[in-house]
A and B are shown apart, each in its own frame.
Chain A
Amino acid sequence: MGSIALRNVSKVFGAHTVIPAIDLDISDGEFVVFVGPSGCGKSTLLRLIAGLEDVSGGKILIDGKDATELAPAKRRLSMVFQSYALYPHMSVRSNIAFPLKMAGEDQASIDRKVADAARVLNLTDYLDRKPRQLSGGQRQRVAIGRAIVRQPVAFLFDEPLSNLDAALRVNMRLEISQLHQQLKTTMVYVTHDQVEAMTMADKIVVLNKGNVEQVGTPLELYRRPDNLFVAGFIGSPKMNFITGEIARGHGAHTIGVRPEHIDLSTSAGAWRGTVGVAEHLGSDTFLHVAVDGVGTLTARVGGDFPVRHGDQVYLSPQEGRVHRFNDEGSAIR
């Protein structure tokens, strides 16, 4: 079992409120991602769950039991850190065995569990090396190995992939998702990268300045953002926002259209503009178009669309794909 519930949890550092008051439910076996810009309090929230920081108010329930006052070691949670936080003086084997040794398990069972974890994570050949002799990806796998051996009720990941290069990050993302399917243990994952959030999560929690902006599945957040912040944060490239006359025409203060929901034509359409920059990715082309009276809009078209800098194009938002927001930034439905 591994359900986690936050009830009115707040955190204050001196005069600075990092997290005002949050309620959140994470069910057993769920993969939940906390996402938000840096400084939004997502890591602090994770550290509160871990017990590495004390809450200023509210309760944290793990499996229905109050864990607010429990020491980190007693919460039966495992954590993977951004810096990996491996013990540099210990071999890979001792690193993975450390939590078991702390739990006072006998040597035979420690050896068996370490061997199992090493096999799952392809680390068998590296067990006698020191962390400094490993690559970034291998170090991250050791950190994950150390987290899985003690069979925690939930895993906490604090931006675990930020120190890896782009290609490795994609691989590790997949490995962590596979691990989740295999273990079916609750995972709470913190990232500032919305692509990681979209690809891995069962449920995404979007945080901004310590507040929960929206909680939902990746597609819910993509299709029905509650406010301007979520609309702008989820999706890449970013959603286009238009205010003024055009928005008023839709009965809103601001309207938002995703780049992939804009149809492009060289002959006719709703808005006329001039192509500023065309980013050719091969499969897709991102066009930055200066539209008269609106500003620069981003549109995504197929890689074959014949267009260059300075060309005149017409843009039309797709029917039913226009998001409307009131003057407070909340979605109008």
Chain B
Amino acid sequence: MARNVSSQRKIVNTVVAWTIGILIFFPILWTFLTSFKTEAQAIASPPSLLFFDWTFENYFEVQARSDYFKHFMNSVAISFGSTLLGLIIAIPAAWAMAFAPTPKTKDVLMWMLSTKMMPPVGVLVPMYLLFRNTGLLDTRIGLVMILTLINLPIIVWMLYTYFKEIPGEILEAARMDGASLAKEIIYVLTPMAVPGIASTLLLNIILAWNEAFWTLNLTASKAAPLTAFIASYSSPEGLFYAKLSAASTMAIAPILILGWFSQKQLVRGLTFGAVK
């Protein structure tokens, strides 16, 4: 049954919703606008919102000073690589927890999640030394490994939730039909869980793309992704607001576009099974 909402109430709700939306979006808009200002205009007080001399100079300068494309490719390799590796590990793990649970399964899930509760800086020194001693510092492989590990609990949890929605009888039917465990997962479970796997994939790419702690601490130049590219413009003197904004805009643009085109899939995946 539809609720009766008066038109006055509707107007108030709309205004409130737009206000909150604009407030949340404002920092991104501000960064975007600042990237087209000169450095002097960027720190001018009072700041001007739209009425300044629009310039693309910052973008050219940023590209000239540090190779955007190299960092972009590092980000792609690290976020997609860690997500795919994570899925390869997490799909069988989530299968086991969803379809062959033991009395301890819930504890294992909680334990996995608990690793996310520790601040990463707590293990920075041992991780750094491990990376240094194994020659993984400033390598894409090293970053793929660490990002896989830190995001694995989230991937397993999400997949576990989706797999729980799939009736076990269908997997049993596959087993009766002669499918081995691997074939059961490849031909039956995975195709049925595609919406869930897709949203896990998207969310994890976004998380890995934006991850800044490990990517900043374990890279220098060779494997540095876009997070390091932005950070290189944030100097303590604070004289490069416009360039910093240009770098930030360039760094978030790809993931924003990816998120924009897949938002339907994302929302569907995140609310999957919430309403039946």
Contacts and interface: CB of A to CB of B under 8 A. Distances in A.
A and B are interacting partners: yes
B145 interface: no
Interface string A174-194: 000000000000000000000
B188 interface: yes
Contact of A99 (B178, B180, B188, B192): B178
A170 interface: no
A85 B173 contact: yes
Contacts of B194: 89
Given A81-B169, A85-B170, A89-B191, A50 B176 contact: yes
Interface of B: 167, 169-170, 172-180, 183, 187-188, 191-192, 194
A52 B171 CA distance: 10
Interface in A144-176: 146, 150
30 contacts: A50-B176, A52-B175, A72-B172, A73-B175, A73-B176, A73-B177, A73-B179, A78-B176, A79-B172, A79-B173, A81-B169, A81-B173, A82-B169, A83-B169, A85-B169, A86-B170, A86-B173, A87-B188, A87-B192, A88-B192, A89-B192, A89-B194, A98-B177, A98-B179, A99-B178, A102-B178, A102-B179, A102-B183, A103-B178, A146-B177
B172 A99 contact: no
Contacts, number: 58
Nearest to A50: B176
A35 interface: no
A81 B175 contact: no
A71 B167 CA distance: 20
User: Interface of chain A, helix or strand or loop or mixed?
Assistant: loop
Contacts of B169: 81-83, 85
Nearest to A143: B173
Given A83-B167, A85-B167, A88-B192, A150 B173 contact: no
Interface of A: 50, 52, 71-73, 77-79, 81-83, 85-89, 98-99, 102-103, 146, 150
Given A81-B172, A88-B192, A89-B191, A99 B177 contact: yes
B177 to A, nearest CB: 4
Contacts of A102: 177-179, 183
A20 to B, nearest CB: 24
Contacts of B175: 52, 71-73
Contact of B176 (A72, A82, A86, A89): A72
Contact of B177 (A52, A83, A89, A150): A150
